[in-house]
Chain A
């Protein structure tokens, strides 16, 4: 049984206590028997996007464990003190497995892990590790590199754009790999970025996409947006666009370039198995194509066949580990050396990346 609760329905419950029971959603006090799994996400869960991908990753656990697990999804929880309170409440209500689905939950979730040694916490996009606390992130850059190759083959202006949420390493690496992939096909491609400084503001995202189009960008990367705002605006303007996490092809049947999709289920399943067996060990989980977490789907048929062949070839090599988007020589946007010739960035170096590659024209916020 999956129960969905969001902050606003809870608040409304306070305002109109009668309604809350009518919706039939509340955190149930977990009995001792089933393992309580709580997923906390910052945005509402729709048919697409980050939250949807995380929630969908729990389905195989549900299928495997049946009534032995009780999954609670807490959606639309803004980062901040309120999130700490809600996560604490979820644990107090008996949930022993917590998935904190946003970078900004890090401190609160880590405190919970330290105070409750019997609770296992998975935290999205972070860097802190504890014995019962694993950060997890997807190697989106493996997919965005391929997208860059496709974009370079399709662009007429030589200008690509990205509407991005916040300047954190996970998003920066995606943009860098996108630029590198494009430059691998056409060396002088430029990438403009608009940081909207918000995880969730559909109107602003759409304005940002239009601002990029006004600058001549004709392939747009919707970087970490949960709604189809950017994709829909691009379809209307006849501009190619792609996004992360889950396919939005239905919003842009003509100009959808593809999706760097994530399937969290192998990782979630393995972690829950380990928790149940008592063998869970906190570690940095940085998962990509070889883990079957990242894959590119819904390629646009307009991509030329010879480019597609190259993309498929590169994809196989990345999955096999013989090729990395971050193999030198790579020059930083400021002209200095990013990666020396012949060297490849290690995972910890990629996770800490705080510079743009050459060709990304927007300065990186400090």
Chain B
């Protein structure tokens, strides 16, 4: 196994926590809501999933429980931000801090414990290819995440639900006037975002790095939010950004292990730099950016 195999085979798994959380945040922001609590939602999902697996509940139940817990917490956000029309930035930050605090509380007795991850599944045929074969040996969650990415892309592009969601985000007053339940749509979007953030956290704690340590999300929720913005609210670009970030972070580690003559601090910052530069170049067109941006993002809706 050389460095290229290492990067190719690990890239998708490294990207999955970012991808899941960013897709969730994409749906939330498309509906016109800015939820900055992703980090906390992920942390809560991570600890709940870990506790379930640790007590023998299995990974399926763990993801379900993690998703449910994060949905519940995101509904608290919905209640405050939509119900009481509080400032969404402040509410999101508070929910994020609350989620991290709750994860520390629930995880106190599980600190530094480990569990078993998930086996890798190979796509027959493709996994035997030279060089890129490793790309097709992934755990089931990675495969499902790819499927989900496709579904969300198709949902925005072709389905009525996708159009309604975008209408609510673009011009909630108009959407309301033609009879769409703006608040209900936004609550549903927030819950969906919570669900995916919970899954992302669960993936981090019971599949990718199967252990619990307080603070293990380590800023990944914030990167997911940044990916949504730098991906200009487009599913494909967010997917690309997540993969790029995963690949470059692995590359920077592999480069050190092989003894490349570059300072490690520079290599550590590479994933951020490369992702920002690449997505920045792709979305340099100001007109397109305006077209993709969500017009009512962060604004409370009043009838």
Residues of chain A having any CB pair with chain B under 8 Å: 6, 8-9, 11-12, 15-16, 19, 23, 43-49, 76, 161, 167, 192-198, 200-204, 206-208, 210-215, 217, 226-229, 232, 251, 361-363, 365-366
Contact = CB atoms under 8 A, between A and B. Distances in A.
B218 A201 contact: yes
B285 interface: no
21 contacts: A6-B104, A8-B214, A12-B97, A15-B101, A19-B101, A46-B111, A192-B256, A193-B256, A195-B264, A200-B213, A203-B208, A208-B257, A210-B6, A211-B254, A214-B257, A215-B3, A228-B211, A229-B211, A363-B260, A363-B261, A365-B263
B60 interface: no
B210 interface: yes
Contacts of B260: 363
Contacts of A15: 94, 97-98, 101
A232 B114 CA distance: 8
B104 A9 contact: yes
Closest 3 CB pairs of A and B: A12-B101, A46-B112, A46-B111
Contacts of B139: none
Interface in B89-134: 94, 97-98, 100-105, 111-114
Contacts of B164: none
B214 A44 contact: yes
Given A197-B264, A365-B265, A6 B257 contact: no
Given A43-B215, A214-B3, A366-B263, A11 B111 contact: no
Interface string B240-270: 0000000001100110111111111100100
B216 interface: yes
B87 interface: no
Interface in B50-88: none
A41 B235 CA distance: 41
A203 B253 CA distance: 12
Give the interface centre of B211, B253, B254, B257 by most chain A CB atoms within 10 Å.
B257
Contacts of B105: 9, 12, 19, 23
A207 B253 CA distance: 8
A227 B112 contact: yes
Given A11-B101, A365-B265, A46 B249 contact: no
Contacts of A213: 1
Interface residues of B, number: 46
Contact of A192 (B1, B6, B204, B259): B259
Given A23-B105, A47-B112, A227-B112, A16 B259 contact: no
Contacts of B262: 363
B14 A200 contact: no
**Interface residues of B, dominant DSSP:** helix
Interface of B: 1-3, 5-6, 10, 14, 94, 97-98, 100-105, 111-114, 204, 208-211, 213-216, 218, 220, 249-250, 253-254, 256-265, 268
Contacts of A193: 256
A215 B6 CA distance: 9
B265 to A, nearest CB: 6
A363 B112 contact: no
Contacts of A215: 2-3, 254, 257-258
Contacts of A195: 256, 264, 268
B253 A202 contact: no
B211 A227 contact: yes
A228 B10 CA distance: 20
B192 to A, nearest CB: 24
B161 to A, nearest CB: 34
Given A8-B214, A9-B105, A215-B257, 8 more contacts: A23-B105, A194-B257, A194-B264, A195-B268, A214-B5, A214-B257, A226-B213, A363-B259
Contacts of B208: 203, 206
Nearest to A190: B259
A19 B98 CA distance: 11
A362 B114 contact: no
A204 B111 contact: no
Contact of B253 (A46, A194, A366): A194
Nearest to B3: A214
B213 A194 contact: no
Contacts of A361: 259
B214 to A, nearest CB: 4
A76 B257 contact: no
Contact of A44 (B2, B97, B213, B253): B213
B218 A207 contact: no
